[in-house]
Amino acid sequence: MVGDSLSAEYGLARGSGWVKLLADRVAADTPQYNVANASISGDTTSGGRTRLAALLREAPAVVVLELGANDGLRGLSVDAMRDNLQAMVDACRKSGARVLLVGIHVPPNYGDAYAQQFYAVYTTLAQRNHIALAPFLLDGFADRLELFQADHIHPLAIAQSRMVDNVWPHLKPLLRP
């Protein structure tokens, strides 16, 4: 798992985030796999791209890429975000790892056009590269503020299982011998 604060348990008790819950599900369903969480709060696609080579030295079978939210919240270039994610997909595939890209929507702080172009990066990359896509990590509850911390960005512990449910159907087919 290469992600940002949404995957790094920001504001949550250690071991209560969605990646830990996903690791528990993976262990129960396909015990030959282990989940390693290499997520860093505040990480951007540029940061993930920079540190990916070191992570790939561990020869993962599957890499889940959950990055981009901080690019969007900072209004960074959509083209740069796409290029960074594409480079990460390429590096993962070159290493032999299967890839799951996890999409995120951003609020229209920088305009509707930016938000639409931002989200389109995920679907475009998934289609172009024939990789799995979990369309939206916060699907089904993004508009329910009672499920978020006071910052209205990071989900509470009660919402973490929903995130697992949004990712699991797209990850499970990649977990094969």
25-68 residue pLDDT tens: 999 999 999 999 999 999 999 999 999 999 999 999 999 999 99
Q: Is residue 16 part of a domain?
A: yes
Q: Is residue 65 part of a domain?
A: no
Active-site position among 5, 39, 71, 105: 5
Q: Which two tokens stand for residue 52?
A: 């990916």
Q: Is residue 177 part of a domain?
A: no
Question: Which letter does DSSP use for residue 143 in this model?
Answer: T
Residue 152: active-site member: no
d(C-alpha 155, C-alpha 6), whole Å: 8
pLDDT at 162: 98
pLDDT at 86: 98
pTM over 0.85: yes
Q: Is residue 66 part of a domain?
A: no
* Pick from 8, 79, 92: nearest CA to 46: 79
19 CB-side CA count, 13 A: 25
Domain coverage including residue 122? 2-58+74-172
Residue with tokens 């290029």, as numbered in its chain: 83
Q: Is residue 64 part of a domain?
A: no
Q: Is the pLDDT of residue 177 over 90?
A: no
pLDDT at 144: 97
What is the tens place of the pLDDT at every residue in 9-21? 999 999 999 999 9
Q: How confident is the model at residue 176 (pLDDT cuts 50, 70, 90)?
A: confident
Q: Is residue 48 part of a domain?
A: yes
Mean pLDDT of 135-153: 97
Mean pLDDT of 137-163: 97
Residue 154: active-site member: yes
Q: Is residue 63 part of a domain?
A: no
pLDDT at 58: 95
Where residue 160 sits, what CATH number does that domain have? 3.40.50.1110
Q: Is residue 102 part of a domain?
A: yes
Q: H or E stretch including 133?
A: strand 132-134
Mean pLDDT of 68-75: 97
Active-site position among 7, 71, 105, 154: 154
What is the tens place of the pLDDT at every residue in 88-139? 999 999 999 999 999 999 988 899 999 999 999 999 999 999 999 999 999 9
Residue 151: active-site member: yes
Active-site position among 112, 130, 143, 151: 151
Domain count across the chain: 1
